[in-house]
Amino acid sequence: MLEEHGNVTLMTDIMYINKIPFIITLSRAILLGTIEMIEDERKSTIIKSLEQVINAYHRRAFKVQHILMDRQFECIRKYMEATGINLNTTAWDEHVPEIERYMCTIKERIRVTTNTLPFEQLPHQLIVEIASNAVFWINWFPYKDGIHNTLSPPHHCHRIKNRLQ
């Protein structure tokens, strides 16, 4: 599995929910998604968030080699290349289709959850938790076109880590 899917391509973008920014990642073959609320869109904040995701893959013996992003992330190119990761940004009016679709899926799940709640306004922290919960459950079930028929990405990555220890 690591021979075939050990080199990871991440797709990344920033998504807003009620004006709260989140950085979203999705790995191309493994289809493991992550979400993290960020305070701002500064270069240092984006780098710190991406480092956490990259380190999580590295702890599981995967190597992030490429990151696909919108043009707004061009400011982190030098840093990513210094760490050995190829940053590929889109043209000005283009987007990375897979991450855009993934963000739509997350937002749909959030809408479904919030529509079942008896509140007219949701607290900031509740929105963050609902978004994290949506990504958790998306990751929990195996993808039809994923790398394994019966194991979800978190289960599969956990099994790889246990074998390596």
Residues 6+ apart with CB under 8 A from 32: 26, 139, 153, 154, 157
Alpha helices per DSSP H over the chain: 2-5, 43-59, 77-82, 97-115, 124-140, 153-164
> Two tokens at 110?
């959030």
In contact, 67 and 53? CB cutoff 8 Å? no
Per-residue pLDDT of the chain (165 residues; tens, 9 = 90+): 555 556 889 999 999 999 999 999 999 888 889 999 999 999 999 999 999 999 998 888 889 999 999 998 999 999 999 999 999 998 887 889 999 999 999 999 999 999 999 988 999 999 999 999 999 999 887 766 655 555 545 544 444 334 333
Residue 165 lies in a domain: no
> Two tokens at 156?
């599969």
Residue 10 lies in a domain: yes
- Is residue 110 exposed (0-12), middle (13-18) or buried (19+ Cβ within 10 Å)? buried
Residue 106 lies in a domain: yes
CATH label of the domain that carries residue 46? 3.30.420.10
- Indicate the SS3 state at residue 26: strand
Parent domain of 89 = 2-158
- CB-CB neighbours of 19 under 10 Å: 7
Residue 62 lies in a domain: yes
Residue 98 lies in a domain: yes
Residue 31 lies in a domain: yes
Residue 73's pLDDT is what? 92
Q: Compute the Cα dihedral for 130, 136, 142, 146 and give only its sign.
A: positive
Residue 79 lies in a domain: yes
Residue 164 lies in a domain: no
> Two tokens at 16?
């807003």
Query: What total of structural domains would you count in the chain?
Result: 1
